[in-house]
Amino acid sequence: MSVYGLERISVPVSPPGFSDDTADPHYVPAPCQVACPIGTDAPSYIGYIWEKQYAEAFEAITATNPFSSICGRVCDAPCESACRRESSDGAVQIRNLKRFIMDKLGADLPKNRFAVSRQESVGIVGSGPAGLTAAFELCKAGFSVSVYEMTDRLGGTMVWGIPQFRLPSGIIEEDIQRLQHQCPELTVHLNTALGREVTLDELKVRHNAVLLAIGAWWGKPMGVAGEDHPRVEDGVSFLRRINAGERPQMPETVVVVGGGDVAMDACRAALRLPGCKTVKVVYRRGPDEIPARKIELHHAQKEGIEFAYNTLQTGITASGDSLALQCVRTKPGPPDEDGRRSPVVVDNSAFEIPCGMVIAAVGQKGASDALDAAGLMDADRVRADFSCMRTADPKVFAAGDGAFGGSTIVMAMQHGQRAAYYIRAALDKIDSPIAYRTPYRTRRVPVAQDLKWEQLGLEEPVFHGLGDRPETFPEIEDTYDEAAAMREAARCYRCDAETGSTDYSVRHREDLFSMARTHPKDLDKHRAMLQRRLESRDNPYPPQRPASLDDLVFLPANLSRLVIDPYREACRIDIDLGQDLKLKQPFLVSGFDDAPEELRQAAWQAIDDNGAGVIGASAPDPKVSWLQILRPGESCDPAAAGYIERWHDGLAQQASIPGNGVLKGLSVALTEEIEAAVDFALSAGYDFLLLDSTGNHGAWPEELTTQPRFELLSATVAALRQRKKEEALTLIFSGGVRSGTDAARLIAMGASVVVYGVTAAIAMGGEIREGQILWHSDRTVEERAEGLQAILNANAGEASMMARCTGKTRLHNLEPEDLRSVTLKTSSITKIPVPGHNVTGHLGQS
Amino acid sequence: MVSLDLATLSVRDANAQLRTLGEAGEDVEILNPDARHHIGVGLTAPIHVTVQGSAGYFCAGLTDQAQFNVSHNVGWGVGDNMYSGSVVVGGNAGAIPGVAIRGAEIVIKGNMGSRAGQVMKAGTLCCAGNANFMAGYMMYGGTIIILGDSGERVGEDMSGGRIFVAGKVQDLGSDAMLTDLDQKEIESIHEFLDRYGSKAPKGFSKIVSAGKKLRYGTPETPMRSIPFNTFSGHSAYWNPKVQEDIAIKAQSGRYRIRGYGGARPLPHLSDIGFRKDLTDAGTHRDVVAKVRMETEIGGINGARPLKLSMPVMIAPMSYGALSRSTKYAIAMGSAMSGIAENTGEGGMSDAQRDAAGQLIFQCLGGRLGWNIHDMRRADALEIYISQGAKPGLGGQLMAKKVTPELAQIRGIPAGIDLRSPSRHPDILGADDLVIKVEEFREATGYQVPVSVKLGAGRIRDDIKIASKDGFDFVELDGMQGSTGAGSAEVIDNVGIPTLPAIIEAVEALEEINARDKIQLVLMGGLRDGIDAVKALCLGADAVAFGTSVIVAGGCISCMQCHIGQCVTGIATQDPAHEKRYQPEVEASNIHRFLESVRWQIAAITQALGYDDVTSLNREDLVALTPEAADITGLPCEPPGSDASQRQVGVVS
């Protein structure tokens, strides 16, 4: 049973008060999480394992699962069958990853402990996975809870049903201790059986509600003659004996009848016991239909268990100590309602299998005389309604295998959670609560960045099989070591996580998956999908969003222009600003005035090699092209190719700076300064304007914390155009330039040179932290120089790629007409038209 | 010997007769050719054709086995894409002689024009006179013999093959180098020249690829993509994605490369809504049977149209970017749903041809996998000009994916970082394109539709040119289209979104009264039947799905297509990875996806009050954002506004 379909589309609402993230538009629970009956946030803990955040992984695992250590060993892991990697090179080994964490941290005791905060109490009969999970949930909700267990220890089938070579007892204790630590006021009554030490009526008096989680404790008979022979035993009784510590002497050959997980445990336990040499499993259908979990079957085969498929037992005959299981052969018959093909007997195929013992593992049942007497039982289970977990008695609820038939530990745990939910609702006097749904949480862990993630193969843990001394039941396989766990974690597709594509976000992808997995005739599903797909998305450009360079796209050449091959054909990017400033790349670098000396050295080396330049207040290495930022009162350094003065109203009254033929520049930081600054620059014979869009001449802290004012560029170009002086001043743009694409956009809009500040810093190894650039001693001066060179080269390549895509062989031939704006806000600032209906004529004037 | 006189016969009729005569084994003489284009195009029989005079463009183009003799001169593109066979030209040849040849022998007795042997894969091109500039431009294999001077930039960007020059090597092209000849090579040149009656000069220079540009330098560190919601318009300026880009580029010194489509949100068909309330859409039983969806594409000029069961086809995606199994699955899935599949750049495989019901065969500038035989078994031909994801750039296929098998079908050296040319060798402008389209029609007897694939840019201009060039339909691809590998910056920043692309296309065609002269197939980020219906309302004749089909067929959108190690076996050529893909299973997933699209188209069309998809129109739509309204000219009714509430009956 899955909580909601893996084809997902509509997730039922989550009951109030649940930790559930399905309302987040960027989150769709991954298939593994949906397949898990208790909604374990597997993708997150897998992500945490890769990040070595083991404590966080432990939290993610144990948040919904009180038996995490046990599940790490023996869960039937429906998550793995749902894993999308299953159909390619094998599912991510989610259970083994859980085991890795629980082996590391399973003995840790979580900090959160549940105190009693409610008046009401709940009595729970049975301490298996269903009963104790319900106890855990009800304690969490603040009820006082008492558990009644007929044996001498807690755990039910987890203790009595699973042999120690799969589940060592210490593992069980770990979970029980954690549970009792978290539920300090949980009352435990051991050796207290219903109808023996306590009656149902007593429980109903003591407690406001009673939960029956009695389990399926008894084996079903095979229904053939001779099965009352003393050497014929049912599987669960046999396992119970073994798990109690018995190590009986076995005959040489044992036959186990049945193909489920009990049969697997029984046959493997038998094989380990003294005297046993051969174990044969008899199963009435074929190997494709055997219900045992694949890995158990696989392990049993590896250990040497023999399988007789398509074999049906008809009776048992005895002569002395030796038995013979009478059998017939079967073949698949016509499919039944479930699509399974019932076996039909092949005529004249009778044969016998001689053996010394028969273990019948053909199903289990719950039984309780007391409940029978109270009229609460069907033939082999408590009669209960799954939709509300209630029995016929309004005060009595039921959960687990004892009520709903043999299943798995994790499913029983889900029953426990469901029952706790409905008991709580009843005690809250809610008559018809919202239907229970397993909650899905995500911890939003980044995807693993292992370079080999797509190549890594499935990590098989080391398998020991019977081991050296089989009768001591040594554990069959090892836990991953850390390296193997990391490799396995890296294999996760992370179906829960967004990728970098808006149009194929996780939500869209899941919808497309659903469309591809829905039968054309399933009209209800199609209607649901259509309504969901018709929901409109949020406007990606809400009014408060600022104008952005990102909104400008380039118009590629197609038929109306010739494309210049960006891979091969040349595109000039150099710019000549005057005799002392011929830039091979139209880039300046800023922000190094306050940088450590080794960074300055690295920067000068790279800038010189690349033929770029620098702006700054202090002199760089003499060979570097330098535009000097003049502080008030300073004079022009002879080494500078030019200087930059900050525009202010008083500038006109000041004496002009002496400088023989150096470039004269004026910096403008605010739009409202443009008109006056342009007039002054034109009248005073300046050569260039530095459009300082984040202020402080490209210093990093300002660039990091200020929204760049791109409107400076279009406003300046407009002011120059208005004065018919478009070519009179060179425009240098500084602030917020991140890439070659940004450079190409700014150049298309009229800049000649752009300034890289923060971009240069990051390329040299700087890290952005709290509005500052932080440096680490993790690289040499040469490596920093190489980083800066590389980013300048990459950005030069990008900028010229943009130019060539638009059909230009020179970067500076880009023009506004080569751009379109995808937002109205950016369009209104830049006057670049939005494409579509309002672009008319080939010049694209709006 | 049969004589065909072009003074009385059209080239089209003459070519038709040539094919018949070829099958009969008759040798033919062409009289009065008068430099007409396309003489002998599409001939695939081992006969002799003698052209008495001069031939125009593409003489002997798209042929196999035939032997041509032209007594005088030829125009450009002689022997275009020729397989086996030969052409001997008595006089001079125009530009790009031997373009894209795959085994033929072409001998020019006079001089030859520029870019001789461009993108040739195999065979021999020999010129007794001088070559003009850039002989051997981007050649992948084969031999060029120049007995005169080389011309400038000989061997420019060649990635394979050899060029022998007896005269002066004027200068070497980019990434070409001189090397020594061995005796065997000299002997084989002599043997060749003897065979064609040319005198062998004393010595030769040999030019080969220097190999410096065949592979990118420092490999980029592969990274799984940062989620878009951490770098959308809502987040800080120097967001993690910006920082990662800078850090990675500071290692490689190069633009980043990735697969998939646009990362950031752009105006999209999602920003368009329906005027009517569609809450009840699909409640009628059997809507699919009630709505006419059959669509013919490509027949408007008399060719045999594609017959689509709904106005949907598969977008072009190459074998190369995708594994053979994936192309096979898509072919099967599209056939099950009665729609057309498209080969993309990488050539056609038998398995794909057999599995696909209807198959469009795409021709790109590198002519990779292009050939007359596959043209003949295609249901439509398509000239790729550009694509939405990376308009202006040719295909990129990283070396990991250029396996020997793949290289063989494309006719290129294995193991190179393949960067396909951005332009066709023989399409430098709109007029060339007319002649190229004509060549394709000649080669296929005017039976097969010819389309053009356009990435959206100056669509208002480009679409008018496309309609005048005589295409039957255009596959119009907005910038939200995806790719197997492209410059990340180009993917996100070049081109216009799909929504304005269709608007500009329709309006431009209406401006010149040519809306009925060409059919429009829209693609680029369309994901479902809802997007499809909106596109049809806005004037598209059909739509194409690419990425959504891949996602339906198992893709997990990790955006690492370019690495070549696709975890699901889709975007890979590595057999170990391809093994992970189950074509039959995924074909049925793709089929169900397409059927879901069909149901959605039908349900919405019916809910809008129509019984035929051709009735869908603009009046059915509203814009949900100011940008969408500006782009489309539709009224703006954002969700929650009075107007939109009225649609659903909240406000009376």
> pLDDT tens digits, residue range A18-39?
889 988 888 999 999 999 999 9
- For chain B, report the end-to-end CA distance as a whole number of angstroms: 84
The two tokens of residue B285 are 């039983």
Do A805 and A556 contact (CB within 8 A), yes or no? yes
Closest partner CB to B264 (pick from A85, A502, A533): A502
Nearest to A162 by CA among A69, A66, A265: A265
Over pLDDT 90: what percentage of chain B?
83
Task: Say yes or no: A558 contacts chain B, CB-CB below 8 A.
Answer: yes
- For residue B563, the chain A residues in CB contact (below 8 A) are 454
The two tokens of residue B375 are 């043209």
Residue A416 confidence (pLDDT) above 60: yes
Q: What is the 3-state secondary structure (H, E, C) of B355-405?
A: HCCEEEEEECCCCCCCCHHHHHCCCEEEEECCCCCCCCCCCEECHHHCCHH
- The number of residues in chain A equals 846
* Distance separating alpha carbons of residues B272 and B629, to the nearest angstrom: 8
* Distance separating alpha carbons of residues B101 and B83, to the nearest angstrom: 6
Mean pLDDT, range A364-378, rounded to an integer: 90
**To which CATH superfamily is domain B269-612 assigned?**
Aldolase class I (3.20.20.70)
Closest partner CB to B265 (pick from A504, A540, A835): A540
* Residues whose CB is less than 8 angstroms from the CB of residue B20 and which lie 6 or more positions away in sequence, other chains included: none
Size of interface A-B (CB pairs under 8 A): 391
Q: DSSP class of residue A456? A: P
Which residue from B minimizes the CA distance to A546? B233
Which residue from B minimizes the CA distance to A444? B227
Interface test with B, best of A86, A496, A801, A805 (most B CBs within 10 A): A805
- Quick one: pLDDT at residue B395? 79
**Is the four-CA dihedral B342, B344, B348, B352 of positive or negative sign?**
negative
Calculate how close chain A gets to B91, using CA atoms only, in Å.
31
User: Token match 């066709």: residue?
Assistant: B424
Nearest to A39 by CA among A61, A23, A58: A61
In one-letter notation, the amino acid at residue B37 is H
Mean pLDDT, range A181-193, rounded to an integer: 96
Q: 3-state class of A587 per DSSP?
A: strand
Closest partner CB to B242 (pick from A526, A738, A790): A738
pLDDT band at B409 (very low <50, low <70, confident <90, very high): confident
- Quick one: pLDDT at residue A756? 98
* Residues whose CB is less than 8 angstroms from the CB of residue A183 and which lie 6 or more positions away in sequence, other chains included: A113, A114, A135, A136, A139, A140, A145
Domain B2-209 has CATH 2.160.20.60: yes
- Quick one: pLDDT at residue B202? 86
Which residue from A minimizes the CA distance to B629? A837
- For residue A844, the chain B residues in CB contact (below 8 A) are 458
* Distance separating alpha carbons of residues A592 and A698, to the nearest angstrom: 9
Interface test with A, best of B496, B533, B577 (most A CBs within 10 A): B496
User: Token match 């002086």: residue?
Assistant: A725
Calculate how close chain A gets to B332, using CA atoms only, in Å.
14
Task: Say yes or no: A500 contacts chain B, CB-CB below 8 A.
Answer: yes
CB proximity under 8 Å: A 110-149 to B:
none
Q: Which CATH architecture has domain A220-363?
A: 3-Layer(bba) Sandwich (3.50)
- Quick one: pLDDT at residue B643? 58
- Quick one: pLDDT at residue A623? 93
Phi, psi of B299 (to 5 degrees): -95, 0
Closest partner CB to B386 (pick from A530, A558, A736): A558
Closest partner CB to B596 (pick from A454, A518, A708): A518
Average pLDDT, chain B: 93
* Distance separating alpha carbons of residues A70 and A61, to the nearest angstrom: 12
Interface test with B, best of A487, A501, A789 (most B CBs within 10 A): A501
pLDDT band at A3 (very low <50, low <70, confident <90, very high): low
* Distance separating alpha carbons of residues A245 and A646, to the nearest angstrom: 88
- Quick one: pLDDT at residue A841? 43
Calculate how close chain B gets to A579, using CA atoms only, in Å.
29
Phi, psi of A625 (to 5 degrees): -65, 130
pTM: 0.93
Distances (CA, A) of B146 to A89, B115, B130, B143, B554: 53, 13, 7, 10, 52
In one-letter notation, the amino acid at residue A448 is A
Q: Give the tens place of pLDDT for each residue, A632-658.
A: 888 899 999 999 999 988 887 776 766
Where are chain B's structural domains?
2-209, 269-612
- Quick one: pLDDT at residue B235? 61
* Distance separating alpha carbons of residues A505 and A495, to the nearest angstrom: 11
Which residue from A minimizes the CA distance to B285? A523
Residue B522 confidence (pLDDT) above 90: yes
Do the chains contact at A790 and B393, CB–CB below 8 Å?
A: no
* Distance separating alpha carbons of residues B561 and B547, to the nearest angstrom: 12
Do B469 and B452 contact (CB within 8 A), yes or no? yes
* Residues whose CB is less than 8 angstroms from the CB of residue A61 and which lie 6 or more positions away in sequence, other chains included: A40, A45, A68, A98, A101, A102
* Residues whose CB is less than 8 angstroms from the CB of residue A819 and which lie 6 or more positions away in sequence, other chains included: A552, A553, A554, A555, A745, A748, A749, A830, A832
* Distance separating alpha carbons of residues A720 and A98, to the nearest angstrom: 67
Interface test with A, best of B277, B422, B533, B559 (most A CBs within 10 A): B422
- For residue A84, the chain B residues in CB contact (below 8 A) are 554, 556
Reported in sequence order, the residue ranges of B426-569 that DSSP labels E, i.e. its strands, are: 450-455, 473-477, 486-487, 519-523, 542-545
Q: DSSP class of residue A89? A: T
Interface test with A, best of B228, B424, B458 (most A CBs within 10 A): B458
Do the chains contact at B461 and A802, CB–CB below 8 Å?
A: no
- For residue B568, the chain A residues in CB contact (below 8 A) are 88
- For residue A787, the chain B residues in CB contact (below 8 A) are 250-251
| B176-179/B205-209 β-pairing | antiparallel
Do the chains contact at A824 and B626, CB–CB below 8 Å?
A: yes
pLDDT band at A110 (very low <50, low <70, confident <90, very high): confident
Q: Give the tens place of pLDDT for each residue, B284-337.
A: 888 999 999 999 999 999 999 999 999 999 999 999 899 999 999 999 999 999
Residue B646 confidence (pLDDT) above 50: no
Do the chains contact at B631 and A837, CB–CB below 8 Å?
A: yes
The two tokens of residue B400 are 């990991």
Q: Give the tens place of pLDDT for each residue, A268-288.
A: 999 999 999 999 999 999 998
* Residues whose CB is less than 8 angstroms from the CB of residue B607 and which lie 6 or more positions away in sequence, other chains included: B276, B278, B280, B281, B282
- For residue A839, the chain B residues in CB contact (below 8 A) are 460, 500, 504
- For residue A539, the chain B residues in CB contact (below 8 A) are 271, 624-625, 638
Do the chains contact at B250 and A787, CB–CB below 8 Å?
A: yes
B550 backbone φψ class: left, alpha, beta (φ>0; ψ -120 to 50): alpha
- For residue A511, the chain B residues in CB contact (below 8 A) are 527-528
Do the chains contact at A738 and B238, CB–CB below 8 Å?
A: yes
Q: Give the tens place of pLDDT for each residue, B93-143.
A: 999 999 999 999 999 999 999 999 999 999 999 999 999 999 999 999 999
- Quick one: pLDDT at residue A634? 86
* Distance separating alpha carbons of residues B192 and B125, to the nearest angstrom: 11
Calculate how close chain A gets to B2, using CA atoms only, in Å.
41
- Quick one: pLDDT at residue A842? 39
Interface test with A, best of B224, B482, B624 (most A CBs within 10 A): B224
Nearest to A439 by CA among A127, A13, A775, A816: A13
Do B471 and B382 contact (CB within 8 A), yes or no? no
Task: Say yes or no: A602 contacts chain B, CB-CB below 8 A.
Answer: no
* Residues whose CB is less than 8 angstroms from the CB of residue A277 and which lie 6 or more positions away in sequence, other chains included: A252, A253
pLDDT band at B233 (very low <50, low <70, confident <90, very high): low
Task: Say yes or no: A30 contacts chain B, CB-CB below 8 A.
Answer: no
Do the chains contact at B480 and A503, CB–CB below 8 Å?
A: yes
**To which CATH superfamily is domain A560-814 assigned?**
Aldolase class I (3.20.20.70)
Q: Give the tens place of pLDDT for each residue, A212-224.
A: 999 998 899 999 9
* Distance separating alpha carbons of residues A165 and A272, to the nearest angstrom: 10
Interface test with B, best of A450, A504, A758 (most B CBs within 10 A): A504
- The number of residues in chain B equals 652
Calculate how close chain B gets to A548, using CA atoms only, in Å.
8
Distances (CA, A) of B287 to A156, A388, B280, B600: 54, 38, 12, 9
pLDDT band at A840 (very low <50, low <70, confident <90, very high): low
- For residue A447, the chain B residues in CB contact (below 8 A) are 224
- Quick one: pLDDT at residue A844? 38
The two tokens of residue B638 are 């954002």
- Quick one: pLDDT at residue A6? 67
Do the chains contact at A550 and B499, CB–CB below 8 Å?
A: no
- Quick one: pLDDT at residue B39? 97
C-alpha Rg value of chain A to the nearest Å:
38
Do A827 and A821 contact (CB within 8 A), yes or no? yes
Task: Say yes or no: A458 contacts chain B, CB-CB below 8 A.
Answer: no
Task: Say yes or no: A456 contacts chain B, CB-CB below 8 A.
Answer: no
b/e A102-119 (16+ beta carbons within 10 angstroms → b): bbbbbeeeeeeebebeee
- For residue B548, the chain A residues in CB contact (below 8 A) are 504, 512
- Quick one: pLDDT at residue B413? 87
Reported in sequence order, the residue ranges of A607-744 that DSSP labels E, i.e. its strands, are: 613-616, 625-629, 642-646, 663-668, 688-692, 730-734
Calculate how close chain B gets to A194, using CA atoms only, in Å.
52
- Quick one: pLDDT at residue A659? 64
Q: Give the tens place of pLDDT for each residue, A388-399.
A: 999 999 999 999
* Distance separating alpha carbons of residues B604 and B625, to the nearest angstrom: 21
Residue A233 confidence (pLDDT) above 60: yes
Which residue from A minimizes the CA distance to B644? A536
Q: What is the dihedral of CA A706, A710, A716, A722, to 10 degrees?
A: -140
pLDDT band at B232 (very low <50, low <70, confident <90, very high): low
Q: 3-state class of B452 per DSSP?
A: strand
Which residue from A minimizes the CA distance to B632? A837
Residue B234 confidence (pLDDT) above 60: no
Do the chains contact at B489 and A802, CB–CB below 8 Å?
A: yes
Mean pLDDT, range A15-19, rounded to an integer: 83
